[in-house]
Chain A
Amino acid sequence: MKDFIKIKNLVLVSNKGVRNLIDIPNLQFDSESISVIIGPNGAGKSLLLNLIQGLILPSAGTIKIKSSIKDNNCKKVSIMMQKPSFLRRTTEQNIQFVLDLNKNKRKVSYLDVLERFDLIAQKKILANKLSGGEKQRLALALAIITNSKILLLDEPTANADPLTTIKIEKIIKEESIAGKKILLVTHNIPQAKRLGQDIAFIHRGKVLEHCDKAVFVNHPKVKEINQFLEGEVVI
């Protein structure tokens, strides 16, 4: 589906009103792909995801998500945050809580979820006591079991070791194949190349480029992307 997520004249002004944290006149994402959002620190990538999720409200502009009749029973957007928050409960209780909220949408048991996300050994451990990588797997599991049409993933492998990264990337691909739209924020350029079908580059709240992966990697139009791809500091 073309223009599945349509962002128009989106502006988010800082609290003091002195600068635009986000300023995106036009940005669109198709429904069946993994779209990657990259950019330097403080560029506004996480803010953009939070705006799409509705965790923060824009100062101006609109974000529209197309839906079909068969999607009526589905939650539209689900997010895995960079610093996820959990209930003060065990891993399995957190999963069970979210499954109970979505029980009429998806018939899976918490044991299946624990197994798929390699969290069996951690099921009785309090979610807040998990290691960084385990927390990310749990956060990803919770985002996926809500059965949303769009998955917003904010640096899902930031604290993960190579093996966990492979597992998480495999799950992301499976979810994309299953028909979910994935918006992935990452700093990891090789990961962006491995997973992304289209890439958007954000710098200082503006989208400098959004195009097909091959074009993005081989023929970037702006010098900031070249700098970023070559590991230079983007100012």
Chain B
Amino acid sequence: MEVFLEAFFKAFSLIFNFDVSLFEIVGLSLKISVISLLIASTVGFPIGVFLAINRFTGRSFTISIFNSLMGMPPVVVGLIVYLLVSRSGPLGWLEILYTPYAMILAQLILILPIIISLSTQIFEELHKEYKDFFIIFSVPPKTSVITYISDSKDSLITIFLAGFGRAVSEVGAVIIVGGNIDHVTRVMTTTIALETSKGDLPLALALGIILLLMSLIINLIANRLKIKINKETYE
């Protein structure tokens, strides 16, 4: 218990003294997660709209594939990305192994199915309401996609959160493709794993606290945003 309390106090001292290496790790974690989330959303939401409003052969199969990929083990994704970007892999020429770019790619592959699958369900519901309206007023496809995304933003926030949660808490994939290199690819989760195995609990605990706080703050902000949008949309 004493060891635990000591680690706890040291952790808070690192946080309140704005320890440079601690916040460097937090910054990189946020950067990688946010970039992969933004790319996944930019690509995933339009794919979600496409799957929701179009009927074609293989549609159900495609949706099932994305649903299954939501539960893909991160280490498997890490291994696949590793094979892709390693020197002898098809994307080896990019030379991004053990860089943040490879970590972004791995997280993107992890988040994209979540964004696509969950948003497809939301857009399907909206499509039932909007289908006739869009036919009657001959709404062009590009405007339709923008309207579907813009008019379901309150629900999309939840998906955004789920994607962010998956990205920021992930360790298996980023440790394989990032290599956990100090000052280069070391993020919160990989540092927690490393420092715990080394027995340096204060840094691991400080990062754990920040990770929890970050998750809490982001959830609070998202909830406030959701309430605000709901107020504007439904009252």
Contact = CB atoms under 8 A, between A and B. Distances in A.
Contacts of B133: 85-87
A31 interface: no
A46 interface: no
B137 A55 contact: no
B136 A78 contact: yes
A53 B136 contact: yes
B132 A85 contact: yes
Q: Give the one of B131, B137, B147 with max A CB within 10 A.
A: B137
Interface string B120-152: 000000100111110111111001000100010
Contacts of A85: 129-133
Given A85-B130, A85-B132, A126-B233, A98 B137 contact: yes
B138 to A, nearest CB: 6
Contacts of A98: 137
Interface residues of B, number: 18
A81 B137 contact: no
A85 B128 CA distance: 10
Contacts of B234: 126
A59 B206 CA distance: 69
Interface string A42-80: 000000000001110000000000000000000100110
Interface in A192-232: none
A54 B129 contact: no
B163 to A, nearest CB: 23
Contacts of A97: 147
B132 A81 contact: yes
Interface of A: 53-55, 75, 78-79, 81, 85-89, 97-98, 101, 126, 142-143, 146
B143 A88 contact: no
A146 B233 contact: no
B151 A89 contact: yes
B52 to A, nearest CB: 16
B138 A75 contact: yes
Contact of B143 (A79, A89, A101, A143): A101
B132 A146 contact: no
Contact of A54 (B126, B135, B139, B147): B135
A126 B233 CA distance: 7
Contact of B132 (A55, A88, A89, A101): A55
Interface in B86-132: 126, 129-132
Contact of A55 (B136, B139, B151): B136
Interface in B221-235: 233-235
Nearest to B133: A85
A37 B123 CA distance: 36
A86 B136 CA distance: 11
B139 A88 contact: no
B135 A101 contact: no
Contacts of B143: 101
Contacts of A75: 138
B5 to A, nearest CB: 52
Nearest to B140: A101
Given A88-B233, A89-B151, A126-B235, 6 more contacts: A55-B136, A79-B136, A87-B130, A87-B147, A98-B137, A143-B136
Contacts of A53: 136
Contacts of A101: 137-140, 143
Interface string B15-36: 0000000000000000000000
Contacts of B138: 75, 101
Nearest to A88: B151
30 contacts: A54-B135, A55-B132, A55-B135, A55-B136, A75-B138, A78-B136, A79-B136, A81-B132, A81-B136, A85-B130, A85-B131, A86-B133, A87-B133, A87-B147, A88-B126, A88-B129, A88-B151, A88-B233, A89-B151, A89-B233, A97-B147, A101-B137, A101-B139, A101-B140, A101-B143, A126-B233, A126-B234, A126-B235, A142-B137, A146-B137
